[in-house]
């Protein structure tokens, strides 16, 4: 398959119009030494063979069975209407809405997205989306450094380890001191913030599932003139206090939980919502409301003087494409769920998590997070975390995100529940872990 319309007659006709004798002549500018590389690639396929091949590949994956995997991505209910509406051709195959007159669909939907994210985070200004949660945190740190003209970034160890890695990658080109705040009892301690700090970055709920003292941490940051960056799961904001409520200057995070499929980790989208004072420092695209020459309400990309295609080397960030379609999917999903539906998702997730934790404790296992937590917590494992995950997978259960060793918690895993977790799923997991733990104990005592 090649999706080309050209017949041999078309090619002849076009060559004649152009005034060349052959297709090869069109490539005459390419030096002979470079011409016609041998590419070692497979032959093309027809659609039947292609889909057969892809199904064969997909069969080598297992996705069925109870799923307790979290750690930055969770399987949630997405109503059928969400993918149907967001995957309409007009949205999927549109370009960035530079020609506003014929892009009101994307532009208005993005304005609605900005409003929804502003409502969820209780902060006024949302951009049109970012790549993912991790790169949004890195961009938030850069924003804070620009806004405060300070070069120290303080990040809690409770922020997702991969996010902290991305932050370090982004900051390596700056004269920044990146300071990590180690957790105490799985929570960020309230430490003194020094006067050279641009921002303090804290994730709530944190990577280990704990709820952080966001109000106190925000105050500590502000007392030193630093910005407070809250990294949040947008779904949690149905029940938990929002960044604007505890004085965060910047809310960032990954939007996967509010309407994107797992996709093996991407694409989802990142979001960034800020206070009024940070508007002109914001990276990425922004949609604003205006009117057309007939005085009709209309939407347009605005404040583009911050961006790379206008400012080139003076831009606030090099970000060009954001993640519009996955953000649109979330906007549609939030509208489909409404306030009640979103609450039900969050509530179902929280209840299942507490039910699971209690059930595990009831069979003598140790839950390290809590007692207050949202929908993820840390469980002590009787065997190395990757091995536990593999043994559970062998029983058809996806569970056990390994907690990295540098948290100093020994062999531990993160468990996660959502509104899709059933009582039967929980029974299955508890008895599987119980069995694995018992076998392990026998092995050790006989070993």
Partner 1 sequence: MDDKKFALGSSNHDFPLIFERSQAGRRAAQPPKADEVDLGELLGAENLRQTAARLPEVSELDLVRHFTQLAQRQFSIDGNFYPLGSCTMKYNPKVNEEAAKLFSELHPYQDPATAQGALELLYNLQDYLGEITGMDAVSLQPAAGAHGELTGILIIRAFHQANGEGEQRRVVIVPDGAHGTNPATAAMVGYEVVEVASDKNGEVDLSAFKEALGPHVAAVMLTNPNTVGVFETNILEISRLAHEVGAQLYYDGANLNAVMGYARPGDMGFDVVHLNLHKTFTTPHGGGGPGTGPVGVKAHLRDFLPVPLVKKEAEGFSFDYDLPRSIGRMRSFYGNFGNLVRAYTYIRALGKEGLKQVSAMAVLNANYLRIKMKEIGFNIAFDRINMHEFVAQPPAGLKTLDIAKALLDYGAHPMTVYFPLIVKEAMMVEPTETESLETLDQYADILSEILKRAENDPDYLAQAPYHTPVRRLDEVKAARKPVLRYSFSTD
Q: Which are the contacts of 13, defined by CB distance < 8 A and separation ≥ 6?
A: none
The CA–CA distances, whole Å, from 370 to 204, 210, 442 equal 13, 6, 30
Give the nearer residue to partner 1 in terms of CB position, either 163 or 382: 163
Least separation in angstroms between residue 446's CB and partner 1 is: 27
- Report the sign of the C-alpha dihedral through residues 228, 229, 233, 237, in that order: positive
- What is the closest distance, in whole angstroms, from the C-beta atom of residue 445 to partner 1 in the complex? 27
CB of 363 to partner 1, least distance (A): 21
The CB-of-116 to partner 1 minimum distance in angstroms stands at 7
Contact criterion met (CB below 8 Å) for 162 and 301: no
- For partner 1, give the closer residue by CB, 321 or 435: 321
Which of 276/447 has CB closer to partner 1? 276
Q: How far is the CB of 279 from partner 1 (least distance, A)?
A: 7
Give me the least distance between CB of 25 and partner 1, in Å please. Answer: 8
Distance between CA atoms of residues 50 and 269, nearest Å: 29
Report the b/e string of 325-364 with b at 16+ CB within 10 A: bbbbbbbbbbbbbeeebbeebbebbbebbbebbebbeeee
Nearest residue (CB) to partner 1, 336 versus 409: 336
Q: Which of 201, 125, 110 is nearest to 157 (CA)?
A: 201
Terminal Cα-to-Cα distance of the chain (whole angstroms): 59
Picking from 99, 129, 100, 96, the residue whose alpha carbon sits closest to that of residue 112 is: 129
Question: How far is Cα of residue 141 from the mean position of the Cα atoms in its chain?
Answer: 17
Cβ atoms of 123 and 251 closer than 8 Å: yes
- Minimum CB distance to partner 1 smaller for 195 or for 288: 288
Q: How far is the CB of 67 from partner 1 (least distance, A)?
A: 7
Q: Name which of 118 and 224 has its Cβ closer to partner 1.
A: 118
Q: 10 vs 406, which CB is nearer to partner 1?
A: 10
Total Cβ atoms within 10 A of residue 241? 15
């Amino acid at each position: 398959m090649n999706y080309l319309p050209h017949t041999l007659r078309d090619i002849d006709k076009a060559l004649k119009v152009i005034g060349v004798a052959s297709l090869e002549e069109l490539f005459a500018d390419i030096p002979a030494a470079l011409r016609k590389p041998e590419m070692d690639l497979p032959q093309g396929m027809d659609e039947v063979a292609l889909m057969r091949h892809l199904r064969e590949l997909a069969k080598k994956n297992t996705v069925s069975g109870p799923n307790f995997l979290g750690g930055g991505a969770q399987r949630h209910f997405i109503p059928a209407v969400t993918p149907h509406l967001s995957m309409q051709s007009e949205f999927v195959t549109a370009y960035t809405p530079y020609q506003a007159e014929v892009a009101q669909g994307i532009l208005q939907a993005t304005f609605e997205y900005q409003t929804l994210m502003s409502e969820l985070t209780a902060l006024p200004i949302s951009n049109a989306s970012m790549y993912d949660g991790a790169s949004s945190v890195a961009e938030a740190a850069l924003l804070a450094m620009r806004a405060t003209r300070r070069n120290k970034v303080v990040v809690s160890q409770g922020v997702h380890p991969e996010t902290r890695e991305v932050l370090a990658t982004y900051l390596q080109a700056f004269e920044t001191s990146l300071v990590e705040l180690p957790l105490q009892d799985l929570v960020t301690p309230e430490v003194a913030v020094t006067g050279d700090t641009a921002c303090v970055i804290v994730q709530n709920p944190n990577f280990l599932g704990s709820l952080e003292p966001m109000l106190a941490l925000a105050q500590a940051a502000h007392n030193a003139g630093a910005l407070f960056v809250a990294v949040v799961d947008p779904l949690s904001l149905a029940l938990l206090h929002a960044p604007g409520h505890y004085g965060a200057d910047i809310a960032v995070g990954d939007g996967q939980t509010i309407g994107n499929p797992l996709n093996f980790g991407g694409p989802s989208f990142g979001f960034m919502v800020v206070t009024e004072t940070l508007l002109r420092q914001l990276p990425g695209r922004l949609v604003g409301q205006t009117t057309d020459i007939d005085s009709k309400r209309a939407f347009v990309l605005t404040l583009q003087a911050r961006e790379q295609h206008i400012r080139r080397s003076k831009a606030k960030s090099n970000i060009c494409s954001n993640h519009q379609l996955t953000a649109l999917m979330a906007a549609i999903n939030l509208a489909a769920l409404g306030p009640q539906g979103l609450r039900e998702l969050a509530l179902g997730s929280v209840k299942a998590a507490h039910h699971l934790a209690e059930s595990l404790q009831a069979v003598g296992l140790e839950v390290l997070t809590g007692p207050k937590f949202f929908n993820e917590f840390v469980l002590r494992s009787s065997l190395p975390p990757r091995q536990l995950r593999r043994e559970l997978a062998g029983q058809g259960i996806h569970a056990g995100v390994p907690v990295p060793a540098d948290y100093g918690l020994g062999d531990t895993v993160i468990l996660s529940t959502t509104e899709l977790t059933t009582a039967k799923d929980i029974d299955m997991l508890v008895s599987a872990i119980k069995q694995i733990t018992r076998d392990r104990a026998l092995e050790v005592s006989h070993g």
